[in-house]
Structure 1
């Protein structure tokens, strides 16, 4: 009995250890099927695709006459890290109609399968929140400006897209989250705003870090609601930079952490710390998606780039996959399985679609 009890404790301890640390947990678990597959479900065993190394979380799906099937989903690995850069050739489509014992493979070339721009149904917003308290302004402002501009260039698309926007905020000791630049798809506008930061921008040398976390979380939540009107899917990232700890003491660490932990699953949180006065554990907890730390101002741009890569990968891990189905009107509801392979990793998800009204002529 004692031996069994010790084994149980060991098992629970392993689970607890594996659940700690940063992870990109933005898969929309709020959707039906709390297994991370969104609107999808595990693939039928008859396909014998093996264990999933990748998770395809279906966020939305619809059909368009004369015969197009569109599936919008996010791809992540088994640890919750986003998988970006996939192309249509890495996907395999399987359909099962009422006369099929199992699924049949559909040729991606014959079905004109493609990854399409998802701007019509997807909106991604990034909030860059900068600590402009006295310690930053007096010692590392130019390095922060250079790092922030690099972040903007890495996160925002090369060509302006209305579905990818960023806003920049800053904080000091005042009871306000100051807006440096409102939400915009323009890299040039964001860059100009950062370049315009001067050493006399702040009137309060203190640091209201917890207030900034709370207010930026509230703003991200509002943006998510605004951007998902009209049946759109939305995601947001909050990126907070600081070189110290909370000094204003308007809010507690518990207040800030609770806002982060209770935020919508499609809001990711990143923190960037600079110098020796930061509390790395606090920033790791608040940056529950990922955290990075620069030992000195010369390392600042590198750390910003590390986070910008993660933010960009997250935004680009959402895919709108479309193909022309061979099913026709009268076939009713059909099962659909989509498999993706990248390197040695594979994953698949199953859903269904109605072919009512489907005819030839799909492009």
Structure 2
């Protein structure tokens, strides 16, 4: 079967409360190669599964004795939008051994197929970066605090997970990205930090927006490197809020955009703009994954919720799919195809595994 992808939308604008959306064009992590399937490849034509509406991008795969096959992948549509919330019963497994002309369907119930927690191999960090310059503190602080708490509630898992953490930073006119709360998996800790923001938190009324972009990208890169140092796969999101343009002039727009453009592809960038003094084009370029603009402070929570939905979707579109294969030691290398169906949409990817040492039973 030939993989039939539609051309991804690299840039799109959707007006919603003066919001601007950018296509999520970094659908895959650096492990992905060429065609966006990561370590996978198009499924053999003999399966005749039809046109792909969904993309399964294999990030990593491994086997565990006595007979478990584990595949870690991300699911998106062909416009590169993440697809979260899939369950094991939406996947079909096909195997092709050396004696098979084509693939055989493997029963998901008999093979104990499941979606497993991916915390052992995946780490996700979110940076919420807030403009606390004088204009925000004097006119929209309470609305910003309420919107930020809503953002935390929407993005962070209900039950704390070590693999999902958030940090909060803020900026004004100083040459510093101030830490409000270090990376944590605790919703309560993050909420208390936001509630503790007061009108006298800043000593500089200016706005160092470009500096905040550069510094937050560096921090996200550091967190990504740290989280992947022990062999994990990592992703990060930088979410920047501002109600104005860069006033400090300490860094250039060119330098800030260069930092974003050259950032690790595992880092996503979102921006939230408030009011009539923002530069929507600059914020769109910085928030290359997605941007939203609120016309007034009453719309802040809605725009924050819009971004939080997208951040959460991305984080939850990664799956660790595991099953117990019927292949046994001596069978050599087998082809594996995984198909997913979501409503009327479907997609599939092919890979292979070696059953060396496999025996009956499965952990």
Is the TM value for this pair above 0.5? yes
| Superposed CA offset, 1:248-293 (max 9, x none) | 1111111111111111111100000000101111111110010011
1:234 alignment counterpart:
234
1:101 alignment counterpart:
101
2:183 alignment counterpart:
183
Query: Residue 282 and residue 61 in structure 1: after superposition, are their counterparts in 2 closer, same or farther (change >3 A)?
Result: same
Instruction: Report the Cα distance in structure 1 between the residues aligned to 2:272 and 2:78, rounded to whole angstroms.
Output: 25
Q: 1:29–1:35: 8 Å Cα contact kept in structure 2?
A: no
Instruction: Report the Cα distance in structure 2 between the residues aligned to 1:19 and 1:266, rounded to whole angstroms.
Output: 17
Instruction: Report the Cα distance in structure 1 between the residues aligned to 2:191 and 2:322, rounded to whole angstroms.
Output: 35
Deviation at 1:66, TM superposition (A): 0.5
Pairing 1:153–2:144 present: no
Q: Greater helix percent: which structure?
A: 1
2:120 alignment counterpart:
120
2:326 alignment counterpart:
326
1:294 alignment counterpart:
294
Instruction: Report the Cα distance in structure 1 between the residues aligned to 2:104 and 2:259, rounded to whole angstroms.
Output: 47
Instruction: Report the Cα distance in structure 2 between the residues aligned to 1:274 and 1:29, rounded to whole angstroms.
Output: 31
Equivalent runs, 1:62-77 vs 2, <5 Å: 62-77=62-77
Instruction: Report the Cα distance in structure 2 between the residues aligned to 1:46 and 1:294, rounded to whole angstroms.
Output: 51
Pairing 1:305–2:305 present: yes
2:224 alignment counterpart:
224
Instruction: Report the Cα distance in structure 2 between the residues aligned to 1:35 and 1:293, rounded to whole angstroms.
Output: 33
TM-score (ref. length: structure 2): 0.94
Instruction: Report the Cα distance in structure 2 between the residues aligned to 1:317 and 1:19, rounded to whole angstroms.
Output: 20
Instruction: Report the Cα distance in structure 1 between the residues aligned to 2:224 and 2:350, rounded to whole angstroms.
Output: 27
Instruction: Report the Cα distance in structure 2 between the residues aligned to 1:94 and 1:18, rounded to whole angstroms.
Output: 31
Instruction: Report the Cα distance in structure 2 between the residues aligned to 1:33 and 1:315, rounded to whole angstroms.
Output: 20
2:142 alignment counterpart:
142
Deviation at 1:27, TM superposition (A): 2.7
Instruction: Report the Cα distance in structure 2 between the residues aligned to 1:56 and 1:212, rounded to whole angstroms.
Output: 34
2:352 alignment counterpart:
352
2:245 alignment counterpart:
245
1:23 alignment counterpart:
23
Segments of 5+ residues of structure 2 without an aligned counterpart are 1-6, 13-21
Q: 1:332–1:355: 8 Å Cα contact kept in structure 2?
A: yes
1:174 alignment counterpart:
174
| Superposed CA offset, 1:115-157 (max 9, x none) | 0000000000000000000000000000000000000011000
Deviation at 1:20, TM superposition (A): 2.7
Please state whether the residue corresponding to 2:199 is helix, strand or coil: coil
1:7 alignment counterpart:
none
1:88 alignment counterpart:
88
| Superposed CA offset, 1:15-48 (max 9, x none) | 8x95333122333353253111111111111111
Instruction: Report the Cα distance in structure 1 between the residues aligned to 2:341 and 2:259, rounded to whole angstroms.
Output: 37
1:12 alignment counterpart:
none
1:9 alignment counterpart:
none
2:44 alignment counterpart:
44
Please state whether the residue corresponding to 1:222 is helix, strand or coil: helix
Pairing 1:316–2:326 present: no
- CA RMSD between the two structures: 1.2
Q: 1:29–1:36: 8 Å Cα contact kept in structure 2?
A: no
Query: Residue 345 and residue 213 in structure 1: after superposition, are their counterparts in 2 closer, same or farther (change >3 A)?
Result: same
Instruction: Report the Cα distance in structure 2 between the residues aligned to 1:262 and 1:79, rounded to whole angstroms.
Output: 22
Q: 2:129–2:240: 8 Å Cα contact kept in structure 1?
A: yes
Count residues with an aligned counterpart. 348
